[in-house]
Amino acid sequence: MKVISIVGARPNFIKLAPLSKEIRKHFDEIIIHTGQHYDYEMDRIFFDQLGIPEPDYHLGVGSGTHGYQTGEMVKRIEEALLKEKPDVVVVFGDTNSTLAGALAAVKLHVPVAHVEAGLRSYDKRIPEEVNRVLVDHCSDLLFCPTERSVENLKKEGIVKGVYLTGDVMVDAINQNIRIAEKRSRILKELDLKSKDYFLATVHRAENTDNPERLRSIVEALCDIENLVFPCHPRTEKFLRKYGLWEKVEKSITVIKPVGYLDMLVLEKNARKVITDSGGVQKEVYIFKVPCVTLRETTEWVETVEDGWNVLVGADKEKIAKAVNEFEPQRENYGYRFGNGKASEKMTLILSKLEKQL
């Protein structure tokens, strides 16, 4: 069976890494990289650190508006699919590369498998929500990380092809945390002591592209003592545009985005994490590190229900209060993201599909 995996952005690469290893034990895999992310720290570093095979197609789409970026990706992915004639296409998460891959495949009647299906924040102003709803509705195999994601799909009438697999990001953590703790020098380089610093990431469009929200977040972050901030290029662009970059540089340890191994170590040893990232919310929950989320809604509702994550939006006072006072309900930890064998389960399900072909 010929499997095509389609990726393009940082979180896609991290999810591909463990699955690709399993897929290659049983099937032929071709990797298409849309080129959505392209800076070394957003792209190549993950292939090098996680041993992801070299993409067979690099479509070089790059940045642009949603319409331009998604449209160019659909066009170029379609050409590659017509040439390769895969038996199944695998897409990951909720980026524009995910949507483009699913759309190109479904229109050519190629079965689509969606890794991280069924997540919902029920907020359609967030581009990722639109992407995940549309991708789920055109997928044939829906690999759900949690029971809640299975239920969400059921509410939308999607029951066929739905599998509770657990979360591939747990596989990625399990495969890399020991290596990270051995190899990473990030704590030493930044002179950080375990549980003595805060870690922040901000990159979601609803925060970066809105000057009031970004200013309010920056003011809150600048008041935090001992804060490390690996800064996404989108955020750096808008911080400079709104004249906030100098303030950030003066008050915070702002660094380039870090590789996955350094990120795992930074997360695990942080006192608290302040973020708007989907993946980071989940990873720090897994590490039992309290999380302050700079959003009004989240698709990772379990982390909030368990009391390990608090949603504060972009309000300066709310952020400060949570950073200073929020403490998780430690006894409430009802871990629900799978046992680190999600990639194996997904591959087994793909094998069943192979028998039907």
| 3-state SS track over 69-126 | HHHHHHHHHHHHHHHHCCCEEEEECCCHHHHHHHHHHHHCCCCEEEECCCCCCCCCCC
Distant-in-sequence, close-in-space partners of 174: CB < 8 Å, separation ≥ 6: 340
**Minimum CB distance to ligand UDP, residue 32 (Å):** 19
Q: Which does 63 bind (CB under 5 to 8 A by kind): ligand UD1, ligand UDP, none?
A: ligand UD1
Backbone angles phi, psi at 309, to 5 degrees: -140, 135
The secondary structure element, H or E, covering residue 60 is none
125 touches ligand UD1 (CB under 6 A): no
State which of residues 2, 51, 63, 352 lies at the interface with ligand UD1 (CB under 6 A). 63
State which of residues 29, 116, 128, 167 lies at the interface with ligand UD1 (CB under 6 A). 128
- Provide the b/e sequence for 168-207 (b: ≥16 CB within 10 Å): bbbbbbebbbeebeeebebbeeeebeeeebbbbbbbbebb
240 touches ligand UD1 (CB under 6 A): no
State which of residues 6, 30, 42, 192 lies at the interface with ligand UD1 (CB under 6 A). 42
Distance CA 319, CA 198 (A): 13
Known catalytic residue: 203? yes
Amino acid at 137: H
Of the pair 81, 136, the CB lying nearest ligand UDP is at 136
Q: Which does 280 bind (CB under 5 to 8 A by kind): ligand UD1, ligand UDP, none?
A: ligand UDP
Residues in contact with ligand UDP by CB under 6 A are 10-11, 14, 201, 230, 257-260, 263, 277-280, 283
State which of residues 24, 28, 39, 243 lies at the interface with ligand UD1 (CB under 6 A). 39
233 touches ligand UD1 (CB under 6 A): yes
234 touches ligand UD1 (CB under 6 A): yes
Active site residues: 203
